[in-house]
Amino acid sequence: MAFLFFRRLVQIALILLGVAAITFLLLYALPADPARMIAGRSATAQTVANIRRELGLDQPFLVQFWTYLTNLLQGNLGRSYAQKTDVATLIVARLPATLTLMLAGIVVEVMLGLLLGTIAAVRRGGIVDRLVMMASFVGVSAPQFVVALLLLYVFAATLGWFPMSGYGTFAHVVLPALTLGVLGAGWYARMVRSAMIDVLNQDYVRTARAKGLSARRIIFRHALPNAILPIIAMIGIDIGQFMGGVVVVEAVYGWPGIGQLAWQAIQQVDIPIIMGVTLTSALAIVLGNLLADLIAPVIDPRIRTR
């Protein structure tokens, strides 16, 4: 087990290195010059050249990448070109908001997904099943922007139950989390449904039923824990996705997360920030998956022997 864990850590390091190299190369190859974005319109060629030199952008690719890597290994993500501040400071300042929304979003989508998926599986083929599946289909295909604005308009602007924008209190997180939850729940519902249908057809469930156990006990005690495994894996993926920023939801609700930072950095060709956010979300994805892999054997002992 310790060896496995160590191997995973090495894997993670290699993945991050790969992500760093590819992102850096892509940004380098981009036909856009960060020095010119900083210099703006009125700058002379001399000013642009000076800025380029000060940022080290006149160096060959390998030199630039090597400098970046050595700084990175010392825990230095560099300084933003446009904001002239440490990238780490900018990311850390936005982490609490990003983590809050990630957790809240996942809680909502998993609860909703489990509930709807289970109901649909139990009532398979019936009208309830069809309604739930249709709703989940609408959920997974609805644009974030529309759902976010709709919720905002109804519950914040019109009814005034929640604040329209900002961050800080529980009331602020409800609508953004609901948006993410409603949109993500569809995936979970479909997955829970098919996993539950599989499980409900298994012999031990039939045995349980034959023993005369109540339907509720069969579903929640016997079937659901066995159907939950794919959900854990999916949560691992969502952790990464939400950590990378949910640009649209953040924009609509004025949520100060990492997504807004990344979005603006891309406009400005602010390479250190783009690199920093990419690495943060890559790290979140691999950690999320690692977490899922660590939790899986706890829930399902069959995996442990593998």
Partner 1 sequence: MFKRWLRQTTVATMVALAPMAAMAQSVTQGGDVVVTFKDDVTTLDPAIGYDWNNWSMIKSLFSRLMDYEPGTSKLVPSLAESFTVSPDGLTYTFKLRKGVKFSNGREMVASDVKYSIERAVDPKTQGPGAGFFGAIKGHEDLTAGKATGLEGITTPDAGTVVFTLSRPDATFLHVMAINFASVVPKEAVEAAGGDFGKKPVGSGTFTLKEWTIGQRLVFEKNPNYYVKDMPHVDKFTVEVGQEPLVALLRLQKGEVDIAGDGIPPAKFLEIKNSADGAKMIVDGEQLHTGYVTLNTKVKPFDNVKVRQAMNMAINKDRITRILNGRATPANQPLPPAMPGYDKGFKGYAYDVAKAKALLAEAGFPNGFETVLYSTNTDPQPRIAQAIQQDLAAVGVKAEVRALAQANVIAAGGTEGEAPMIWSGGMAWIADFPDASNFYGPILGCAGAVPGGWNWSWYCNKDLDARAVAADSMSDPAKGAERTAAWGKVFTDIMADAPWIPVINERRVVAKSMRMGGGDNIYIDPTRVINYDAIYVTK
Q: Residue 297 Cβ, how far from partner 1 at the closest point, in Å? A: 39
- Indicate whether 243 belongs to the interface with partner 1 (CB under 8 A): no
- Indicate whether 241 belongs to the interface with partner 1 (CB under 8 A): no
- Indicate whether 175 belongs to the interface with partner 1 (CB under 8 A): no
- Indicate whether 152 belongs to the interface with partner 1 (CB under 8 A): yes
Q: Which 30-89 residues touch partner 1, going by CB under 8 A?
A: 30-33, 36-48, 50-51, 53-55, 79-80, 82-85, 89
Q: How many residues bind partner 1 (CB under 8 A)?
A: 56
Q: Residue 81 Cβ, how far from partner 1 at the closest point, in Å? A: 8
d(Cα 297, Cα 304) in Å, to the nearest integer?
5
Q: Residue 221 Cβ, how far from partner 1 at the closest point, in Å? A: 45
d(Cα 286, Cα 272) in Å, to the nearest integer?
21
- Indicate whether 173 belongs to the interface with partner 1 (CB under 8 A): no
Q: Which is nearer to partner 1, 3 or 170 (CB)?
A: 170
- Indicate whether 167 belongs to the interface with partner 1 (CB under 8 A): yes
Q: Residue 27 Cβ, how far from partner 1 at the closest point, in Å? A: 11
Q: Residue 161 Cβ, how far from partner 1 at the closest point, in Å? A: 13
Q: Residue 73 Cβ, how far from partner 1 at the closest point, in Å? A: 22
Q: Which residues bind partner 1 (CB under 8 A)?
A: 30-33, 36-48, 50-51, 53-55, 79-80, 82-85, 89-90, 93-94, 97, 149, 152-153, 157, 164-167, 250-257, 260-261, 264, 266-269
